[in-house]
Amino acid sequence: MSDPIVPRPIAIPLRFLLRSAQVAFAAINAGLVGYFLKSYSGDGILGRWIYVEVIAALAIIFGVVLMVPILHGYFVWPIDITFSLAWFAAFGTLVNALEATACGQDISNTECTQWKVNEAFAFLSAIVWLITGLVGLFYVWRADQQRLGYWTGRYDV
């Protein structure tokens, strides 16, 4: 067995930091979208906000559950990649919805600024989930490389 690329005392806090960022970004998105849903006036983009709110709620739940160190957080990389794709879709729907409003380049309007912050944190959440998924995929690949001869090597019979 070769030495791991990232030592365990660094890998565990790194995983905790990434999961904490996932939960924090999802909580920010949930709060902002909840504020928008509360002040909803019927402009036709309710489905997009509900989608982002559901993704944020699921991301908070999974982020907290996967933060537990005993769950081998790097081996659940398919969940991380799936959430990353869901967050990229949420970011796309938020950007598409913003184009239909009068915000455009106006940054003096508080609601437009909150909307753009919501978009930014949706994108950051997608990136953090993607980084966690790629790190997990790397760890799984590395574990497979260390055991490569276990199934495919030649054996003396």
Question: Tens place of pLDDT for every residue, the chain, 157 residues?
Answer: 455 566 667 777 888 899 999 999 999 999 999 988 887 776 666 888 899 999 999 999 999 998 887 666 667 889 999 999 999 999 999 888 777 667 765 566 777 888 889 999 999 999 999 999 998 888 777 766 666 555 555 555 5
pLDDT of residue 1: 45
Q: CA-to-CA distance for 25 and 87, rounded, in angstroms?
A: 11
CB atoms inside a 10 Å sphere around CB 16: 14
**What tokens were used for 101?**
């409003």
pLDDT of residue 144: 63
CA distances from 111 to 26, 39, 117 (A): 19, 11, 10
pLDDT of residue 29: 95
Q: CA-to-CA distance for 46 and 36, rounded, in angstroms?
A: 9
pLDDT of residue 6: 62
* pTM assigned to the model: 0.82
Domains within the chain, CATH numbers bracketed: 9-68+75-152 (1.20.140)
CB atoms inside a 10 Å sphere around CB 70: 5
